[in-house]
């Protein structure tokens, strides 16, 4: 069982930056694939970025070059550094952990980008 707690959301102006953190409880954090997803108002949840246990990363096309996902296995934490934020980045951001068929979600943190 893994519990995930996101933090770092809030209100930011367009063009600004925000860093989200996701702290995981439990052991074996380092072997989980960790991801950030977001759900804009009235839309489906979508992948933002993922980082595999070996450190390889994947990004949605719209986030490449603006967002950076990283992990600190010693702290059981995954981060999402967001730069050049746009109003369309406004969403609830969720942290996800998965290992094989086991998938865990955090409760989400709201990011609002004002124009």
Q: For residue 89, which of 39, 55, 52 has the smallest C-alpha distance?
A: 39
pLDDT digits (tens, 9 = 90+) for 35-46: 999 999 999 999
Q: What pLDDT score does 64 carry?
A: 82
- Give the three-class secondary structure for 62: helix
Q: Beta strand 10-13 with 109-114: parallel, antiparallel or unpaired?
A: parallel
Instruction: Check: CB of residue 6 under 8 Å from CB of residue 94.
Output: yes
Question: Nearest 5°: CA angle at 55, between 52 and 60?
Answer: 60
pLDDT digits (tens, 9 = 90+) for 104-113: 999 999 999 9
Instruction: Check: CB of residue 22 under 8 Å from CB of residue 95.
Output: yes
Give me the residues paired with residue 63 across strands.
none
Model confidence at 102: pLDDT above 80:
yes
Q: What pLDDT score does 61 carry?
A: 87
Q: For residue 81, which of 96, 91, 71, 92 has the smallest C-alpha distance?
A: 71
**27 vs 93, more confident:** 93
- Give the three-class secondary structure for 15: coil
pLDDT digits (tens, 9 = 90+) for 7-48: 999 999 999 999 999 999 977 888 899 999 999 999 999 999
């Amino acid at each position: 069982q893994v519990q995930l707690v996101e933090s770092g959301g809030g209100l930011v102006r367009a063009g600004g930056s925000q860093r989200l953190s996701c702290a995981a409880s439990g052991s074996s954090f380092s072997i989980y694939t960790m991801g950030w997803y977001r759900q804009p108002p009235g839309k489906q949840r979508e992948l933002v970025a993922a980082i595999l246990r070996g450190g390889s990363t994947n990004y949605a096309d719209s986030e490449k070059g603006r967002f950076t996902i990283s992990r600190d296995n010693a702290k059981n934490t995954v981060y999402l550094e967001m730069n050049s934020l746009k109003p369309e980045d406004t969403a609830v951001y969720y942290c996800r952990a998965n290992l094989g068929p086991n998938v865990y979600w955090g409760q989400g943190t709201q990011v609002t980008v004002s124009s």
